[in-house]
């Protein structure tokens, strides 16, 4: 079953529908105000092909990436809001989660630029079409994992500046910083290259 998800947009309190934190985070439940379940995925316009080729009577298959784009998604079903959070903190926490979502979207847009360059020379040469397509998919997933891991430092720095204590000033600075970076990259879906 595919979980309901949506691409980057303004979050609302109702987007947090999970009744519990993910199992790996429950030990910190009392200190977590909210958890945004956000991921990077290829855009619907991403296109991969596998072509049959022959050389010296030997048949092989070449997998390639015709078009690639990435986008951030938020999954409400695994996104959690602490029910004990006082109402006075809601707007700060919602803005905080919005910035985490923006960091994931920024990572997706940066990955789109990088992956489109890499795709120009990428070829998966395999003895059958299934293996060629598997290599293409594995490569795309490796790109996503690497970009996600690279972005962890930014998420951590943001949390250190704004989660350890209430700091609307620092959080606003982070919002401006991420919004400015987002403006430098068009969303993959709007480039016409899907």
Q: What is the pLDDT of residue 61?
A: 96
Angle CA(143)–CA(4)–CA(24) in degrees, nearest 5? 65
pLDDT at site 190: 44
pLDDT given for residue 23 in this prediction: 79
For residues 174 and 161, is the Cβ–Cβ distance under 8 A? yes
How high is the pLDDT of residue 22? 81
pTM of the model: 0.90
Say how far apart CA 174 and CA 180 lie, in whole Å: 10
What residue ranges of the chain have pLDDT lower than 50?
1, 190-194
Distances (CA, A) of 125 to 48, 55, 136, 193: 13, 12, 10, 25
Where are the domains positioned within the chain? 6-190
pLDDT, residue 26, reads 64
pLDDT score recorded for residue 29: 65
Give the pLDDT score at 158: 94
Give the per-residue pLDDT at 24: 74
Tell me how crowded residue 64 is: count the other CB atoms within 10 A of its CB.
17
User: Terminus-to-terminus CA distance in the chain, angstroms?
Assistant: 25
Q: Specify whether the CB–CB gap between 54 and 7 falls below 8 A.
A: no
pLDDT at position 163: 80
pLDDT for residue 121: 96
């Amino acid at each position: 079953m595919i979980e309901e998800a949506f691409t980057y947009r303004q979050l609302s309190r109702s987007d947090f529908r999970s009744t519990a934190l993910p199992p790996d985070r429950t030990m910190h439940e009392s200190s977590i105000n909210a958890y945004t379940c956000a991921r990077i995925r290829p855009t619907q316009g991403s296109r991969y092909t596998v072509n049959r080729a022959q050389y010296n009577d030997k048949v092989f298959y070449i997998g390639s990436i015709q078009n690639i784009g990435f986008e951030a998604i938020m999954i409400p079903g695994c996104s959690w809001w602490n029910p004990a959070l006082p109402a006075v903190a809601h707007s700060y926490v919602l803005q905080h989660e919005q910035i985490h979502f923006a960091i994931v979207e920024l990572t997706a847009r940066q990955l789109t630029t990088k992956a489109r360059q890499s795709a120009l020379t990428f070829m998966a040469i395999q003895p059958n079409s299934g293996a060629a397509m598997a290599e293409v998919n594995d490569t795309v997933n490796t790109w996503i994992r690497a970009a996600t891991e690279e972005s962890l430092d930014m998420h951590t720095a943001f949390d250190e500046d704004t989660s350890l204590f209430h700091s609307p000033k620092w959080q606003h600075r982070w919002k401006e910083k991420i919004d400015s970076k987002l403006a430098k990259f068009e969303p993959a879906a709007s480039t016409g290259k899907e």
